[in-house]
Amino acid sequence: MVLDVLIALGIGITQLALTWYGVHVSVQEHRTRNALIIGLIGTVGLVLTVFGTIRSTASLEQIATNTQKRATLKIVPKEGNLALPEPLSENHPLLVNYMFLNTGNEAARKLREFSHVYIEYGNPDVPTTVEHVWQEFSTWMLQTDNLHLAGKEMPFGIPYWATNERPWLVLTSDQIKDIQTGKAYIFLVVSFSFEDEAGSKVQEACFFIQPPADPASPWHSCGRHTAEITVTQSQ
């Protein structure tokens, strides 16, 4: 921005000087010298004009690149204490709700959704704990791949919510006690594959709930498996 202002200022100054020397040539001697000065100043002005045009073109190209059509998925546990709608119990399956939203500027095509909940012992801040959960999830995705058919387009700007897929877990009393005391953690893992103008992509998401894991307990990102992965790029 500052450079563009300086370029414009330089062009204005050279044009002003060129006008002044034009008048000077018409009323003063040393016309050859002044003519050379006029030519030099005019050349500088021309160079600045060309340079400013090139910068302007580059800026427009950058804007076009930044506004390329693409789909971007945001995945979070459902807010308002609705991610874990009921207290932990031995009498009903463990269900976790999450929200997903296309925050891009293009519909996500051929959307495939995978989601599961796991109980994992260990510290969720330790990478090996998260990787063990994700390995189980990856194995399950391979085993159920043919059951997850590509769906319809997902438009941008409209939030949706879903619940973890079957098979659902039914917790034992010991598991509930371990979760409430922080010995074990509930993990929600989600993976979406989709296509947009830029190519084929996968959006991963991983969260765990803080003890005592009641509906009001906060959810935290795993810090891993949260990024968008480009599988193939459009040519």
Last residue of a domain, one of 27, 49, 66: 66
Q: Are residues 138 and 222 in the same domain?
A: yes
- 94 is in which domain, residue-wise? 73-233
| Conformation bin of residue 6: beta by default, left when phi > 0, alpha when psi is -120 to 50 | alpha
Q: Could you report how far apart the first and last alpha carbons of the chain are, in Å?
A: 33
Assess whether pLDDT exceeds 60 at residue 63. no
Q: Are residues 43 and 100 in the same domain?
A: no
Assess whether pLDDT exceeds 50 at residue 101. yes
Q: Per the structure block, which two tokens stand in for 192?
A: 């979406």
- Give the mean pLDDT of 135-139: 98
Q: Are residues 106 and 213 in the same domain?
A: yes
Q: CA–CA separation, 24 vs 13, rounded Å?
A: 16
Assess whether pLDDT exceeds 70 at residue 10. no
Q: Are residues 121 and 181 in the same domain?
A: yes
The more confident residue out of 109 and 29 is 109
CB distance 71 to 156 below 8 Å:
yes
Q: How far is CA 192 from CA 61, 93, 111, 135, 195, in A?
A: 31, 24, 7, 16, 10
CATH of the domain at 111: 2.60.40.10
Q: Are residues 142 and 191 in the same domain?
A: yes
Q: Are residues 61 and 109 in the same domain?
A: no
Q: Are residues 120 and 51 in the same domain?
A: no
pLDDT-based confidence at residue 26 (cuts at 50, 70, 90): low
Residue 44 is classified by DSSP as H
pLDDT for 177 equals 97
**What is the total count of domains within the chain?**
2
Beta strands 184-196 and 160-163 are unpaired
